[in-house]
Amino acid sequence: EPEVTQTPSHQVTQMGQEVILRCVPISNHLYFYWYRQILGQKVEFLVSFYNNEISEKSEIFDDQFSVERPDGSNFTLKIRSTKLEDSAMYFCASSEVGEQYFGPGTRLTVT
Amino acid sequence: DAKTTQPTSMDCAEGRAANLPCNHSTISGNEYVYWYRQIHSQGPQYIIHGLKNNETNEMASLIITEDRKSSTLILPHATLRDTAVYYCIVRVAGGINDYKLSFGAGTTVTVRA
């Protein structure tokens, strides 16, 4: 069964460093998303991406964040200068229409 | 998107049916009811969705009241692996900008042996 994959599973970085989180969505899906979940809190929407452009973003997704689909298979989330409060699980999701399928997540720890 | 109300937690016995309620009294005519679950810290997993008719798949059944103001997710034979946080989400399906999911706190379901 096709699934969304994410790498790395765990990323530790120092405050101020740039990180890139990678996702491989399900191959025939057209819509891509990033969500995050701070430990003990709700899953929060960050951004959606369709047709090579951002279709919607939340107030969390500020200028420090960017997304890219560099080739036909990968979908990346870049955080330019990480802050302590960026520590969270980051989930990628993709959909064809309707239901979204989530990856296993990347745990980002900013020290 | 319409807001949903779910119980904070519930227990159920292994092998028995688990009935998870959700209230969505402000749902609009073009909004669907979606159910997802999250096992420990894994990514949310899609379970089922519906508009107004009852739906069933290999994982669960979804019963939506006639006025659409509430619904019930039924796990027919709960197993220990069904222990998870279950989210009821109401959203419009259609239109690029309406595809985001807004997660609440969900219901923490604990299946006991």
Contacts of A57 (CB under 8 A, 6+ apart): A46, A47, A48
Q: How long, in residues, is chain A?
A: 111
Q: Which residue has the tokens 């999701």?
A: A93
Question: B-chain residues within 8 Å CB-CB of A89?
Answer: 41
Amino acid identity, position B41: S
Structure-block tokens of residue B84: 């998870």
What is the share, in percent, of chain B residues with pLDDT greater than 70?
A: 93
A50-105 residue pLDDT tens: 988 999 999 999 999 999 998 878 999 999 999 999 999 999 999 987 789 999 99
Cβ(A33)–Cβ(A21) under 8 Å?
no
Indicate the pLDDT class of residue B91, thresholds 50, 70 and 90. Answer: confident
Contacts of residue A59, Cβ cutoff 8 Å, sequence gap at least 6: none
**Interface contacts A/B by beta carbons within 8 Å:** 61
- Cβ–Cβ below 8 Å for B42 and A93: no
> Is the pLDDT at B98 greater than 70, yes or no?
no
Say which range, A101-110, B52-61, B71-80, B91-100, has the weakest mean pLDDT.
B91-100
Question: With contacts defined as CB-CB under 8 Å, which chain B residues touch A48?
Answer: 96-97, 99-100
- What average pLDDT does range A10-29 have in this prediction? 96
Q: How far is the C-alpha of B33 from the C-alpha of B27, rounded, in Å?
A: 9
pLDDT at A2: 85
**B29 at the A interface (CB within 8 A)?**
no
Side chain identity, residue B30: N
